[in-house]
Amino acid sequence: MATPDTSPLPAACDVLVVGAGPAGSACAQTLAAAGHQVLLVDQHDFPRDKICGDGLIPDSHAALRRLGVHDEVMAQARHVQHVRCIAPRGGVVDVPGTLAVLPRKQLDHILVRAAQRAGATLATPVRFEAPLLDGERVVGARLKTAHGVHEVGARWVVLATGAVPAAAIAAGVNERRTPSGIALRGYVKNDAMVGRITQLQMLWHPRLSGGYGWIFPAPDGVFNIGAGLTGSHGKGRDGRHAMQDVNLRQMFDAFCDLHAPARELMQGGTIVGELKGAPLRCSLLGAKWSRPGLLVTGEAAGSTYAFTGEGIGKAMETGMLAAQAVLHGGDEPGVRAQYEASLLALKPKFDLYEKASHVNHRPWLADLVVWRARKSPRILRRMSGVLEETQNPGRLFSWRGITKLMFE
Ligand SMILES: Cc1cc2nc3c(=O)[nH]c(=O)nc-3n(C[C@H](O)[C@H](O)[C@H](O)COP(=O)(O)OP(=O)(O)OC[C@H]3O[C@@H](n4cnc5c(N)ncnc54)[C@H](O)[C@@H]3O)c2cc1C
C-alpha cells in the first residue's frame, strides 16, 4: 500500500530534488551520499505506479550498478537475454543483450529507498507549485502538501518531474508543450505464455507506422504489452501522424491483431488494471537544461531515446550527472556549465536515436535490417553492440549505415 511520508518539511536544504522517479532518486542518492542535505519530494506516495514498458536495457543495468542496487533489482526482476525484432514481413532476429523487466512500482521504490538510505529526506505527497526567486535566480520552491503551502529554500533545485511539462512550465524552463511521443500499456497475467515469450518482443508494421508494438515479460506470469509512437515531436516525418490524430487504443488493437503471441496473450490472459497511456519526451529537447539555481534532469530534459522510447537508464544517468555538477562544478555558473557540457556530450547519441526513428516511420527498413542481420553475424553483433552501448550507433542508424547494410 502507498504510504505518505509525513515528516514536516524543513525550511531550507542544500538541494531540493523534485520528482522521485529514476532521475530524481539517482540524483538525490548521489548528493546525499556525498554529505549534502537533500530533500526529495514527489506528488505521489510510494510505492507508486508509472506508465512504462518496464524494460531495463544495458544502460539501466550500468546505472543500477553505479547506484549499488543492481542485485536488489535483479532479485525481483525477470531476467531476459534477447530483444526480438519482428519486421513487417515476418522476419525475426533475436539481438542478445543485458536485459530485464521489473514493473516501475517495484523499481522506483527500490531507487527511492536507496536515496533514503544514503541520507536523503523523502516527503510525499508534495507537489512543486513554483520556484522561489531572488531576481532571476531560483532559491527554493513553493510546495503544496495536504496541510497547505510551504516555502522551502535551497541552494539548488533539481527538477526531475518527467514527461508531463506542468512543473517545467511553472519553473520557466519549458520550451515545448507537445510531447515527442505517446504510448499505451497494459499488464496481462497469462501463466501459459511464460515459457513462450521469453524475449523483449518489438514489432514494426505499416499499421503501427510512427511507432511499434511490444511485449515485455515481467515476473510472476505477468506481461507488459503496449504500443506507441516515438520521436516525432508531435508530427510524423510524412506529416500524417500528428500526435492528436493517433488513436493509441486502435494502434494497440492493431498490434494484437498483427502479432499472434500478443493475440494469444490477450485472449488467454487476465488484464491486470487498466490500459493506460502516457507521454514521452525525447532527444534532450523540449526544455532548457538549467537556469540560475535550477537544473532540469531526466525526462523533464528529454532524456528518453527517440527510436525505442527507452529512458530509465538515461534518466538515472542524467540525474547522476546533475548531482556530479552540484558536487564538483564549483560556483553557480560552474555547476550549470558542467551539467550542460555533460548533457551536450550525450547529445550526439540521442541525435542518432532520433535519426533511427526513420524505422518507425518507414517500417520496410525493419524488413531490410532484420533480413541482413539474419544473414550476417557481424551485423547482429553490431546491433548487440549498439544495445550494449559498446558500439557507435551511427554505424547502424545513419542513412550511410543503412546503405552500407545492403552491400556488406
Ligand atoms: C508507455 C511507456 C513505455 C515506456 N517503456 C520504457 C521501457 O520499457 N524502458 C525504458 O527504459 N523506458 C521506457 N519508457 C520511458 C520511461 O518511462 C522514462 O524515460 C522514465 O520514466 C523517465 O524517468 P524520470 O525519473 O525522468 O521521470 P518519471 O519516471 O516520470 O518520474 C517523475 C516523477 O516526478 C513526479 N512529479 C511530476 N510533477 C511533479 C510535481 N509538480 N511535484 C512533485 N512531483 C512531481 C512524478 O510523480 C514522478 O514520480 C516508457 C515510457 C512510456 C510512456
Q: How far is the CA of 317 from the centre of ligand 1 (A)?
A: 14
Enter the DSSP assignment of 374.
Answer: H
Per the CB < 8 A criterion, the answer to whether 358 and 365 are in contact is yes
Strands 222-229, 211-217: parallel, antiparallel or unpaired by DSSP? Answer: antiparallel
pLDDT, tens only, 348-378: 999 988 888 878 888 888 898 899 999 999 8
Mutate to test the pocket of ligand 1, among 107, 223, 312 (most ligand atoms within 8 A of CB): 312
Question: Residue 405's pLDDT is what?
Answer: 64
Q: Does position 136 have pLDDT exceeding 80, yes or no? A: yes
Residue 251 CB contacts under 8 Å (≥ 6 apart), including other chains: 184, 208, 211, 213, 227, 228, 229
Q: Is the pLDDT of residue 193 over 90?
A: yes
Write down the pLDDT at residue 208: 92
Which of 39, 50, 145 most suits a substitution to test ligand 1, by most atoms within 8 Å of the C-beta? 50
Residue 237's pLDDT is 43
Q: Which parts of 9-49 fold into alpha helices (H)?
A: 22-33
The cell numbers describing 292, all together, are 540560475
**Contact assessment for residue 234 and residue 242, using Cβ atoms and an 8 Å cutoff:** yes
Q: Which atom of ligand 1 is nearest to the CA of 163?
A: 30
Q: For 281, phi and psi rounded to 5 degrees?
A: -125, 120
Q: What is the whole-number distance in angstroms between the Cα of residue 353 and the centre of ligand 1?
A: 19
Q: How far is the CA of 194 from the centre of ligand 1 (A)?
A: 27
Please tell me if the CB atom of residue 26 comes closer than 6 angstroms to any atom of ligand 1.
Answer: no
State if residue 18 touches ligand 1 by the CB under 6 angstroms criterion: yes
- In this structure, which residue's CA is closest to atom 41 in ligand 1? 128
Q: How far is 169 from 230, CA to CA, in rounded Å?
A: 22
1: Cβ contacts below 8 Å, ≥ 6 apart:
none
pLDDT digits (tens, 9 = 90+) for 62-86: 999 999 999 999 999 999 999 999 9
Q: Look at residue 235 in the predicted model and tell me its pLDDT.
A: 46
Distance CA 259, CA 255 (A): 6
Ligand 1 centroid–CA 398 distance in Å is 28
pLDDT band at 246 (very low <50, low <70, confident <90, very high): confident
Does 312 sit in the ligand 1 pocket, CB within 6 Å? yes
pTM of the model: 0.95
The three cell numbers locating residue 81: 537475454
User: Residue 45 and residue 145: Cα distance in Å, rounded?
Assistant: 12
Closest ligand 1 atom, residue 22 Cα: 25
Ligand 1 centroid to residue 152 C-alpha, Å: 24
d(CA 226, CA 186): 6
**Average of per-residue pLDDT across 45-61:** 97
Task: Please compute the mean of the pLDDT values over residues 280-297 and round it to a whole number.
Answer: 97
Name the percent of the chain lying above pLDDT 90. 81
Q: Which atom of ligand 1 is nearest to the CA of 183?
A: 1
Q: What's residue 238's pLDDT?
A: 43
pLDDT for the residue 399: 67
Element holding 203 (H helix, E strand): strand 200-203
Beta bridge partners of 224: 187, 216
Mean pLDDT of the region 223-241: 67
Q: Which three cell numbers stand for residue 171?
A: 519553473
Please, what is the average pLDDT of the chain? 92
Contact 200, 80 (CB under 8 A): yes
> How far does residue 161's CA lie from ligand 1's centre (Å)?
8
Q: Residue 391: its pLDDT value, please?
A: 82
Total Cβ atoms within 10 A of residue 11: 10
* 386: pLDDT strictly greater than 90: no
Query: Per residue in 15-51, is it b (16+ CB within 10 Å) or e — as a string?
Result: bbbbbbbbbbbbbbbbbbbeebbbbbbbbbbbbbebb
61 CB within 6 A, ligand 1: no
